Amino acid sequence: MKGKNAFSQSILITGANRGMGLGYVRHYLKEGKSIIAAVRTIEKQTELDRLREQHADRLLILRLDVSNEASLVGFTKELKMVQPSFRIVINNAGISMEEKFEAWTMATFEKHFRINTIGPALTSQAIAPFMAKGGKLIQISSGMGSLSWNINPLNHFDAYAASKCALHSITIRLAEKLKAKEIGVFAINPGWVRTEMGGDDATTSIEEAVTDITSTIAQLKFRQTGSFLSEKGEIIPW
C-alpha cells in the first residue's frame, strides 16, 4: 500500500472480476490510476487476483454483492477504513436473461431489478459520501433501457430492458440530488460487446468498448449531468 491516501483520487468499478468490469481495471491500471475493484466473490488465481499481486499499491479488491444489503453494509465499513475519494465510479455489475412473454415470472423480474436497478441505486447511495467534488458517477445501462431508441421490443429481454429503464430514472434523480456536490451522474450504453453477457456474435471487443467508454468518461463535463450517452459520447434519447 502507498499509505493512507493511496486511494485519494481513485476509481471504483463494480462487477470487476470479468467482462467489461475487468476491462476497466486493466485500462485504468495502464493509466497509472488507483482502483477499488468490487466483486461479488473474491477468488484466487484469477486475472484480477494476478493484477492485484502486480499492483498491490494501487489495486484493492473488496467484496460487494450489489443485490444484498448486508454486503453493501460490509462494503461501506471497509470503505470507511480505507477512506477513498473517488474521481470516477462505474456501476457496471449487471445481469441479463431472456424470458418469453407468456412465460414471464416474478422471480426473473425481481432478480433483474435487484441487481440492475436497486443495486446501482444503493451502491450510489453508499459511495456518494466518498466521492470527490467534481467526480463522475457512471451507471452502465443499455440501449434496451431506452423508451424510444432502437429498443427491439420483440426480443425476450423484457425484464432486463425494464430494469435498465428504471435505472435511467435513478440516474436523472441522482443527478439532481448530487448537483450541490458537483458530482456528475451519467448513464452509458456500452454497445454490443463480446462478453459472457453479449455473446460471441457481438460487434465490439471488450478492449474497443473500454477504450471508447473511458475516453467518453474522460471528456464528460459536469454540465452534461443527467444524460444518457453512447460509448462514443453521443446523446441517446431516454
Which of 7, 10, 11, 19 is in the footprint of ligand NDP by CB under 6 A?
19
Q: What's the CA gap between 147 and 215, in Å, rounded?
A: 26
Does 200 participate in binding ligand NDP (rule CB under 6 A)? no
β-strand partners of 181: none
β-strand partners of 60: 36
Distance, first Cα to last Cα, the chain? 42
Q: What's the CA gap between 77 and 128, in Å, rounded?
A: 14
Which x/- pattern, by CB under 6 A, does the window 97-136 give for ligand NDP?
A: ------------------x---x-----------------
Q: Which residue's CB is nearer to ligand NDP, number 45 or number 223?
A: 45
Which of 84, 135, 184, 198 is in the footprint of ligand NDP by CB under 6 A?
198
Q: What's the CA gap between 187 and 142, in Å, rounded?
A: 9
Q: What's the CA gap between 148 and 97, in Å, rounded?
A: 21
Does 158 participate in binding ligand NDP (rule CB under 6 A)? no
Binding site for ligand NDP (CB under 6 A): 14-15, 17-21, 40-41, 64-67, 92-96, 115, 119, 140, 142, 190, 192-193, 195-198, 202
